[in-house]
Homo-oligomer: A and B are copies of this chain.
Amino acid sequence: MTDKDRTISDRIQKQLDDMTRAERQLALSILENYPASGLGPLAALAKGANVSVPTVARMVQKLGYKGYPDFQTDLRDELGAIAKGPIAKHETWAGAAPSEHILNRFTDAVIDNIRNTLAHIDPAAFDRACALAADRDRHLYIVGGRITHTLAEYMFLHMQVIRPNLTHVQSTSNTWPHYLLNAAEGDVFIIFDVRRYENNTLKLAEMARARGAKIVLFTDQWRSPVHRLADISLTSRIIVPSAWDSLATPMLLVETMISAVQTLNWDDTKGRMQELEDIFDQTKLFRKFT
């Protein structure tokens, strides 16, 4: 037993590989809300993990404890030890690393970006953008640039399941003018443009605008020049301790929009989602919900 196995959490994680499905399910549940969930009654823990009572009993014994109460005692001791430690310790995300570690510095920055972004966002505008993206009568164009096309494609992949009638355009390619030939009044362009802003993207936006299309823009705090043409601009803070910017926050917004649009289109999407559920079942990670 090395240095790393001091906490029960570590020990559980280490054994994760050798566990069976139900055990792993249980272990993850314990880790999920650690250590509170393990301090309640055995039956509650079992229920929370969607696992049977004997499974819990069997596992704690596999972990080397005489019984569940024994396991709880260990958990409590650990909890007590933690609380006694350097309390006022500046909060670190990866507790096992010093706060100067890049993991902590970077995460700090991203959390800060998220907080700042959400604080300044206009929920009404966001909702309008979602409504536009959900409208299947409008053709939906999703446009990304050199780096942002990964975000654009990510959105495209999901929207494809949610609704028909959409196109993924890469503004850096030289084929995008072709797409615009088909753009009609009322169509929707979701455009991604963060610094350094791309001329192609701006041109594309201008032409889209000229054809009477609606423009939803994902950009950064310094705002792409496209924002003057956009009906709705969603700006994210993207600075991190790195030579590059972080797309984590824009991605959060993208995912949120996907979720919102899917809800708006739920009636129509339900069928397709059922298929996904079936595939989901095949992963055999979970019990079926009965």
Contacts and interface: CB of A to CB of B under 8 A. Distances in A.
Interface of A: 4, 9, 13, 16-17, 24, 28, 31-37, 39-40, 72-73, 76-77, 79-80, 83-87, 91, 93-97, 101-104, 106-107, 110-111, 114-116, 118-124, 126, 146-147, 150-151, 153-154, 157-158, 172, 195-200, 202, 221-223, 225, 227-228, 240-244, 246-248, 251-252, 255-256, 258-260, 262-263, 269, 273, 276, 279-280, 282-289
Contacts of A116: 32
Contacts of A122: 4, 96
Given A103-B118, A248-B255, 6 more contacts: A33-B80, A35-B83, A93-B115, A111-B111, A243-B262, A248-B252
Binding site secondary structure of chain A: helix
Contacts of A276: 243
Contacts of A24: 222
Contact of A111 (B114, B202, B273): B114
A202 B284 CA distance: 13
A30 to B, nearest CB: 12
Contacts of A34: 83
Given A86-B91, A94-B123, A196 B287 contact: yes
A94 B114 contact: no
A96 to B, nearest CB: 5
A118 B146 CA distance: 30
